[in-house]
Amino acid sequence: MQLDDLYRQVIMDHYQHPRNQGEIGADALTVDLRNPSCGDEIRLQLQVADGVVCDARFRGAGCSISISSASMMTEAIKGKPLAEALALAQAFRAMMRGEAVDVEQLGELEALQGVSKFPARIKCATLAWQALENAASLAGLEHEHGG
């Protein structure tokens, strides 16, 4: 099996069977974002306690890239310190810019690397990550925004 085929399977699996869909509740950090260029939408909710992402859920409407990215992101950040989740967001954005990144750090997210070759789709892939960065700002965690 080709690596591209494996990546497509991972993306389609997350699109067809998104992980962590739903809502946490009223006490969660909540960010609603919309990509005006294509209409993708996401509501990201984080439950953060003692600086750790205890839960991450999303509701979204959009293309396979947008939904898959949100699904993979929520899986990747649950249980991690918020600062570590933001570092992962920076690595993901770097990958979207075509920069070399530590694939060990990205894990399954590496499947979205091919999106970087399609500039019009990068916003689809990064929408959930932008929501994460906005949620971190709501939590009062300072971070550098790249991209």
Greatest distance between any 2 Cα atoms in the chain: 45
Residue 145: the pLDDT is 41
Q: How far apart are CA 70 and CA 126, in angstroms?
A: 9
Tell me if 131 is assigned to some domain.
Answer: yes
Residues linked to residue 45 through DSSP beta bridges, in sequence order: 30, 57
Q: Quick one: how far is CA 5 from the chain centroid? A: 21
Tell me if 33 is assigned to some domain.
Answer: yes
* Three-class SS state of 39: coil
Residue 55: the pLDDT is 97
Tell me if 147 is assigned to some domain.
Answer: no
38, 69 contact by CB (below 8 A): no
Say yes or no to pLDDT of 138 above 90.
Answer: no
Segments forming the whole domain that contains residue 123: 3-138
Say yes or no to pLDDT of 27 above 90.
Answer: no
Residue 6: the pLDDT is 66
Q: What are 85-133's pLDDT values in tens digits?
A: 999 999 999 999 999 898 888 999 999 999 999 898 999 999 999 999 9
Element (H, E) at 56: strand 52-61
Q: 103-120 burial by CB neighbour count: b if 16+ within 10 A, else e? A: eeebebbbbbbbbbeeee
Residue ranges of the alpha helices (H) in the chain? 3-16, 64-77, 82-96, 103-106, 119-138
Tell me if 121 is assigned to some domain.
Answer: yes
CATH code of the domain covering residue 41: 3.90.1010.10
Of 18-27, 36-45, 94-103, 135-144, which gets the smallest average pLDDT?
A: 135-144
Residue 4: the pLDDT is 74
The tally of domains found in the chain comes to 1
Q: What are 29-84's pLDDT values in tens digits?
A: 999 999 888 899 999 999 999 999 999 999 999 999 999 999 999 999 999 999 99
